[in-house]
Structure 1
Amino acid sequence: MIKSELVQIVAAKNPHLYHRDVENIVNAVLDEITDALAGGNRVELRGFGAFSVKNRPSRSGRNPRTGDSVFVEEKWVPFFKTGKELRERLNPDLADEDDDED
């Protein structure tokens, strides 16, 4: 799914809102998540998952085309960990087994 598809789905479920308003809302949510991650914060959406930023230290890598050794600089990368509800919806058979253990 791409952002424009998400906007269309949300607009269809909320016919009382203008399409441009839905687009502004989706953009605002994504911008806030991005700004929080850029600030080094963690963003948790209960039931969906948590976004965070992880550090990848510098390392020696390899150019796959030539096989030459190259230096890869340190960088920060976004990381997403799924929430329990999302995992259960993706794996309904496993959720039933977890309920049996309780």
Structure 2
Amino acid sequence: MSKYLENVKKYVDSPNETAVEALVAHLGLALQSHDASIVAATDADELARIKTGYCSKTLDLTAEEADAAIAKTCQKMTGDKAKCRVTFYYLLAEASDSMGRLAA
């Protein structure tokens, strides 16, 4: 868990540790594979899956809210070639004011 928390700290000064723990638990098996633990932000199909899966089902965002949060997160992580899925999802929750859905 600490490596994911450290990665989130690259973008957030004081991240919600409970939310990071919840994301690590939620992603579970996906974090076992290096490829699955990374978000390919230039892959439209992957972003569509994140939008209809995580954004819609977990964060309860509308399509427009999801698009805005994804765009903001991609912009924030522009310099990071290997975008950690935990960090990406954390920043999506933050960008959409949905952190309470993770840390509840």
Q: TM-score, normalised by structure 1?
A: 0.32
Q: Compare relative contact order (CA 8 Å, sep 6+) and give the higher one, 1 or 2.
A: 2
Q: TM-score, normalised by structure 2?
A: 0.31
Q: Which has the larger radius of gyration?
A: 1
Q: Which has the higher helix share?
A: 2
